Amino acid sequence: MTPRLKEGKIRHDWRRNYSYYLILLPVLLYYFIFLYIPMGGLLMAFERFNAAKGIFHSPWIWFGNFATFFKSYYFWRLIRNTVVLSLLGLFFGVVSPVGLALLLNEVKNRYFKKTIQTATYIPYFISLVVAASLIKIFVAPEGPIGALFNSLFGLDKNLLTYVDLFRPIMVVSDMWTMTGYIAVIYLAALSGIDHEQYEAARIDGAGHWKQLVHITIPGIAPTVIVLFIMRTGQLLNVGYEKIILLYSPGIYETADVISTFVYRKGLIELQYGYSAAVGLFNAVVGLLLIIGTNWLAKRYSETRLF
């Protein structure tokens, strides 16, 4: 299209549709102010940012903040904790809801199925603060789980104070709150599989196991992949709002992740520039991850998010 034609098209579109664009304007303004201005604010990652001077008058130090972070004692510990927690979350976040959905799908009694689905779905509605409190109560020495560990292994303090137990606590509690919720999505995908495929397989003599492997699993694979890609975008955040409620300096060795470090350095120690740099590093890696997973999915399975 020549520039002239394009210009004419834009002008025609505006004359015809300007009222649509006026309706859209508040939405675009909202995104501009609350999401794009902070994106511009990321420039502070390259400055020795001083809130009083603002982003335009703080001294530039280019990659100084990043260099400090890469050389810091905490760098590898943060990377390790973030990667381990996100991989654990990715694995159990896919396996347990898919497993629950497949088992529920085998249940023929509708009321039983509905009851179990409802019971496992309820914890999703609990707020993070209440969930974190329940965890603390349960793993305290007098709590149900804490008391069990006390009698079995002689651990007599709150389980949240043991470095080695933080990851299992995160995994199990995430399973408790999220499994039923995500299983709903897979159940929907399962109910979308054409019943004639099962009929045909039965006529050909395929048993339940063969039907599972050849019809059910391929049937929900696209949904699994879409949710998987969506999760990779959130991967590096690893539920930091929950970690902030649960961790304590004694277990930073396994509990401190990049996002909690950003929160502490930035909003508690007020090192804005440095903290923004660490946050930017996290966001860029996250962006690369989601683009990479999407590319892989597109290449090998024809299912993709964008």
Partner 1 sequence: MVSKFGKESPSRILFVAVNAIFLSLVGLLALAPFLHVIMASFSDPFQLIANKGLIWRPLGFTTIGYEKVFQSVEIWRGYLNTILYTTASVALGSLLTILGAYVLSRKGLYWSNKAMFFITFTMIFNGGLIPTYILIANLGWIDSPLAVIIPNCMSAFNLIILRTYFYTIPDSLEESANLDGASRLQVLFRIMVPLAKSSIAVVALFYTVAQWNSYFQAMIYLRSPKLYTLQLVLREILLKNTATSVGASGPSAFVLAVAELIKYCVIIVSIIPMLAAYPFIQRYFVSGIMVGAVKG
Q: How far is the CB of 297 from partner 1 (least distance, A)?
A: 15
Q: Applying CB under 8 A, which of residues 4, 57, 71, 108 lies at the interface with partner 1?
A: 108
When the beta carbons of 24 and 67 are compared against partner 1, the nearer one is: 24
Q: Does 19 help bind partner 1 (rule: CB under 8 A)?
A: yes
| CB of 174 closer than 8 Å to CB of 92 | yes
| Stretch 183-212: interaction string toward partner 1, x if CB under 8 A | -xx--xx--x---------------x----
Q: Does 241 help bind partner 1 (rule: CB under 8 A)?
A: yes
Residue 47 — φ and ψ, nearest 5°? -125, 165
173 is written with which tokens? 């509690």
199 is written with which tokens? 């009929």
Q: How far is the CB of 73 from partner 1 (least distance, A)?
A: 21
Q: How far is the CB of 298 from partner 1 (least distance, A)?
A: 15
Footprint (CB under 8 A) of partner 1, residues 266-295: 266-267, 272, 275-276, 279-280, 282-283, 286-287, 290
Which residue type sits at 247? Y
Q: Does 97 help bind partner 1 (rule: CB under 8 A)?
A: no
Q: Does 164 help bind partner 1 (rule: CB under 8 A)?
A: no
When the beta carbons of 84 and 116 are compared against partner 1, the nearer one is: 116
When the beta carbons of 59 and 141 are compared against partner 1, the nearer one is: 141
Q: How far is the CB of 209 from partner 1 (least distance, A)?
A: 10
Q: Applying CB under 8 A, which of residues 1, 5, 15, 26 lies at the interface with partner 1?
A: 26
Q: Minimal CA–CA distance to 85: which of 226, 284, 237?
A: 237
What lies within 8 Å, CB to CB, of 42 at 6+ separation is 276, 279, 280
Task: Give the span between the Cα atoms of 178 and 122, in whole angstroms.
Answer: 10
Q: Applying CB under 8 A, which of residues 73, 125, 153, 300 lies at the interface with partner 1?
A: 125
Number of residues counted as binding partner 1 (CB under 8 A): 93
DSSP state of 106: T
185-206 core/surface letters (b: 16 or more CB in 10 A; e: else): bbbebbeeeeeeeeeebeeeeb
Q: Does 1 help bind partner 1 (rule: CB under 8 A)?
A: no
| CB of 158 closer than 8 Å to CB of 140 | yes
Q: Does 121 help bind partner 1 (rule: CB under 8 A)?
A: yes
Task: Give the span between the Cα atoms of 193 and 110, in whole angstroms.
Answer: 18
Task: Give the span between the Cα atoms of 224 and 227, in whole angstroms.
Answer: 5
